[in-house]
Structure 1
Amino acid sequence: MKFLALAAVALLAACESTPNDAANGANTGAQQSSVRPGSAEDFVVNVGDRVFFGLDRYDLSPEARATLDRQAKWLQTYGSVTVTVEGHADERGTREYNLALGERRANSVKNYLAAKGITPNRVNVVSYGKERPAVVGSNEAAWSQNRRGVTVVN
């Protein structure tokens, strides 16, 4: 019986909320966001930082263009922000080939953003080729995630 009384007290204590919890939106259904508008985290979470490419391709798919449209809008809103576009490739092919392909991919992203009104000197490009895979593996699932352009807020 003593055990049940202690369990009941512990259960009630666990259900109690403090005034700070209520002030912070706890248990109210309201969601608090710690993402600061205009930050690198805001860009990744709310806009999307990467686009994907087909095998041996550097042209932009409709999905990639939609992501880049959101990026351009965000960059127009935060006009002092500069970015670096990283071009990546999957593990197939020579190092030299993949560095060149990564550069073409990064430049495709930069050129699209420029066409949407982003000043080209706000966008740097770098190619990592196959040197920085997002996903390790030797299959299409991994390769498709590694053929990408990533826009990084500086």
Structure 2
Amino acid sequence: MRQIVYFDKDSYQLTDDGQRMLDPIAIRLRQHPDSYVIVIGHSDDSGTEEENVVLSYERAFTVAIYIASVFGIEEERIQLVAAGNSDPVTNVDQQQERQRNRRVEVLSPQVIVRTLSPISEPAF
């Protein structure tokens, strides 16, 4: 499962629409206590590299806090990545690219089931 939430220029404030987009992922986390999400913050290229990394982290952190506080998801199940402007959207004009790069991607990998076999490995 993957969801993208967009932000205004120089902002890390989560909009009502952004919250509604995150709700299904948070509900899925509650239903599957062994699952986790990866929250990747992005920014456009309008600031310095350091400013963009900080802003992308603040965006990812805002999303993580929303999921954790509103839905009661343990913070350990939410991994944050601050990508800055290192992974821009391609094939769009400059203005569209900047708008689409002001985003957070929330990735929810499929639940991984680990089993222990009671039988030892076969000898060759």
Q: Answer whether TM exceeds 0.5 for this pair.
A: yes
TM-score scaled to structure 1, two decimals?
0.66
Per the alignment, residue 141 of structure 1 pairs with 96
- Return 5+ residue gaps in structure 2 as ranges: 110-124
| Residues 1:97 and 1:126: Cα distance change in structure 2 (over 3 Å) | same
CA shift digits 1:95-127 (9 cap, x unpaired): 100000000000000000001211110001110
- Return 5+ residue gaps in structure 1 as ranges: 1-42
Query: 1 or 2, which has the higher helix percentage?
Result: 1
Per the alignment, residue 18 of structure 2 pairs with 64
1:91 to 45, 66, 69: 45
Query: What is the rounded CA distance, in whole Å, between the counterparts of 1:142 and 1:136 in structure 2?
Result: 8
Note if 1:119 corresponds to 2:93. Answer: no
Tell me: higher relative CO, structure 1 or 2? Use CA pairs within 8 A at least 6 residues apart.
Answer: 2
Larger radius of gyration: 1
Aligned length: 108
Q: Give the deviation of 1:91 after TM superposition.
A: 1.5
TM-score scaled to structure 2, two decimals?
0.80
**1:89/1:129 contact within 8 Å kept:** yes
Identity of aligned residues (%): 31
